[in-house]
Amino acid sequence: MSEPREDADPDSPEGRGGAAAVLPAAAPGSGRGALDRRRILGSAIEFIDAQGLPALTMRRLGAHLGVEAMALYRYVPSRENLLDGVVETVIDELYGDPDVHLEPGHGWQDYLQRLAHGVRRIALAHPEVFPLVATRPPAAPWVRPPLRSLRWVESFLVALIDSGFSQEAAVSAYRAYSSFLLGHLLLEVSQKGVAVNAEDQPEGVPAEQEAVDLSQYPTVVRLEPLLSLDESAAEFEEALENLLERLELVLREGRTPRRGDTRD
Amino acid sequence: MSEPREDADPDSPEGRGGAAAVLPAAAPGSGRGALDRRRILGSAIEFIDAQGLPALTMRRLGAHLGVEAMALYRYVPSRENLLDGVVETVIDELYGDPDVHLEPGHGWQDYLQRLAHGVRRIALAHPEVFPLVATRPPAAPWVRPPLRSLRWVESFLVALIDSGFSQEAAVSAYRAYSSFLLGHLLLEVSQKGVAVNAEDQPEGVPAEQEAVDLSQYPTVVRLEPLLSLDESAAEFEEALENLLERLELVLREGRTPRRGDTRD
DNA sequence: GGCGTTGCGTTTACGCCGTAAACACGCGGG
DNA sequence: CCCGCGTGTTTACGGCGTAAACGCAACGCC
């Protein structure tokens, strides 16, 4: 039963035994056990995953931990800082993922593949948190995106440079890789997230909310089955492999690529 | 003086005479002239561009328009709806852009090129607004990303199908294109935006804020000049052209691509 | 045992937020 | 004349983030 099916998404939370969802954080009612920063952050992640980001307030998070809101301020200087901590904590799950390595033992393609899937696993495990990863101002203005921690940026750059990339190529690879991950995962997560959104309308008949008039968009209507089909895993894989091929070219030609010689 | 320099970014707000920034909205002090939804939305965009998203409150926006906050509610049902309107308005700038066409007159590549640059122009013109475009729940759960309006999705799909794409190929092209735009532009915008962020610290010495310890990340430090170098325009162009080439393959082979026969 | 200190959580309070509801007021048609 | 209606204001409420003061148990030290 719990064996992965043929077409199961290898990065989906239930689909494998990987990392993600490792923090303790205990039940909300059982309000014992010393408060501390880690417990607060873990609880916040759990809370966001369950109730959605806008539902997270200091008072509610306090209640979730069986404590007054102000108690949190002994461990967290502000709500903003708490959100930063949430992002950092979530990204840190990469370190606990046995399939992702800080050092490329089997070549840079393998390294990038594993890293990408690791990040995807995190995104899928915390769909409500991931947009925060994309949106929060970074530690250093220039690193920016999903691999927020400088340690991963360092690891990325070293891996590629050690594999023969020039410094320029490594940096531009980092940018391409980042924006690919960011774009694809943000899209995927929000596609999933909206279906069962946190804010629910428990009305008797949940259907027919506003139902925008689709009659002017016949193609959209006709392709709606295709559009709502979820082939994220395959698309991710394909785009990722395309990116890796592109990088391979960059590496081999030792320069920034200028579209293949297919014309001109 | 105002002629675009050789290497000027063709999508930067000052670099060309395109659309973007077309709304009237008049000065804040001059608080006359009938309030209406358009004026409110325009003012909100202006406000966000100037002060950043978190600074936008109903009261402040009211003040910006020379009016009490509650007056806005006669034209806007809620703050959430106002933000939706802001996103919609910003995307609607596409219609006013003379370089972007709803119908592909010169082939689908030209169509996609123009569309992509049009969206990029909007992103660069409203860097503080753009993350909202990425983050807000969509009208229809499955369209999701930057081309939020169904009209553009319709246009996109029709353009590709008319050019010979299969329905499946058109949909998957839409996804690839969307996530590319989203990822790249979000990254680019946030890279720009952070430098001169809205929340300023007007302290005497603006430097040396926290300055995380970079000593453990020598490669990051060494490549910092490269990392902070802004080659967004070139990278955008390259990634876009690569995407178009990929789509060309899809079209020619009439199937979803499975990585070139470079191995296996 | 008495007693200051220290650490953790609570209480109280403030100003700002989004917004519901009642209100003030100018203007065009019976 | 006045009556309704459209438009903006006033007032009010509950919830927010958080500063400041407080209560109180555990502990070290004499």
**Which tens digit of pLDDT belongs to each residue from A181-208?**
999 999 888 877 655 544 444 444 444 4
Give residue B203's Cα distance to chain centre. Answer: 32
Q: What is the mean pLDDT of residues B244-257?
A: 77
d(CA A254, CA A24): 47
- C1' of D14 to CA of B187 (Å): 38
Angle at B94 between CA A134 and CA B239, to 5 degrees: 50
Mutate to test the interface with A, among B199, B200, B223 (most CBs of A within 10 A): B223
Check B259 against A245: CB less than 8 A apart. Answer: yes
Give the residue from chain A lying closest to B210, CA to CA: A139
| CA-wise closest residue to B147 among B185, B187, B192 | B185
For residue B224, name the pLDDT band (cuts at 50, 70, 90): confident
pTM for the model stands at 0.85
Residues A99 and A117 sit within 8 Å (Cβ to Cβ): yes
Q: Give the per-residue pLDDT at A105.
A: 86
pLDDT for the residue B6: 62
Give the Cα separation of A209 and A217 in Å (integer): 19
Return all residues near A130 (Cβ < 8 A) that are at least 6 apart: A90, A122, A123, A185, A186, A189
The answer to whether the CB atoms of A191 and B226 lie below 8 A apart is no
What's the pLDDT at B4? 52
The number of beta carbons lying within 10 Å of the beta carbon of residue A21 is: 13
Residue pair B66/B28 in contact (Cβ under 8 Å)? The answer is yes
The top-scoring range by mean pLDDT among A216-225, B21-30, B133-142, B211-220 is A216-225
- Rounded to whole angstroms, the Cα distance separating B69 from B72 reads 6
User: Considering only alpha carbons, which residue of chain B is nearest residue A225?
Assistant: B142
Are A221 and B137 in contact by the 8 Å Cβ rule? The answer is no
Token digits for B221?
A: 């430090």
Lowest mean pLDDT among A33-37, B24-28, B231-235: B24-28
pLDDT at B235 over 80: yes
Q: Give the distance from CA A248 to its chain's centroid.
A: 25
Cα→Cα distances B263→A233, B4, B30, B33, B213, Å: 21, 45, 67, 67, 43
Residue numbers in A near B191 (CB within 8 A): 141-142, 144
What is the pLDDT at residue B128? 93
Three-state DSSP class for residue B264 = coil
Indicate if the pLDDT at residue B78 is higher than 90: yes
Mutation target to probe the B interface, by most B beta carbons within 10 A, among A226, A232, A253, A263 is A226
Reported as a single tens digit per residue, the pLDDT across A30-81 is 445 678 999 999 999 999 999 999 999 999 999 999 999 999 999 999 999 9
Rg of chain B on CA atoms, in Å:
21
Of A85-94, B85-94, B102-111, B226-235, the poorest mean pLDDT is in B226-235
Residue A68 distance to chain B (closest CA, Å):
26
Question: Tokens in use for A66?
Answer: 């069986």
Residue A146: strand, helix, or coil:
coil
Nucleotide nearest to A79 (CA to C1'): D17
Residues of B within 8 A of A138 (CB-CB) are: 190, 194
Distances (CA, A) of A240 to A237, A260, B195, B248: 5, 19, 30, 18
Instruction: Pick A168's closest partner by Cβ from B167, B226, B239.
Output: B226
In the predicted model, is pLDDT for residue B260 greater than 60?
no
pLDDT at A29: 41
Q: What pLDDT, on the 0 to 100 scale, is given for residue B212?
A: 66
Q: A172, B143: Cβ pair inside 8 Å?
A: no
B3 pLDDT higher than 90: no
Per the CB < 8 Å rule, is A238 touching B259?
yes
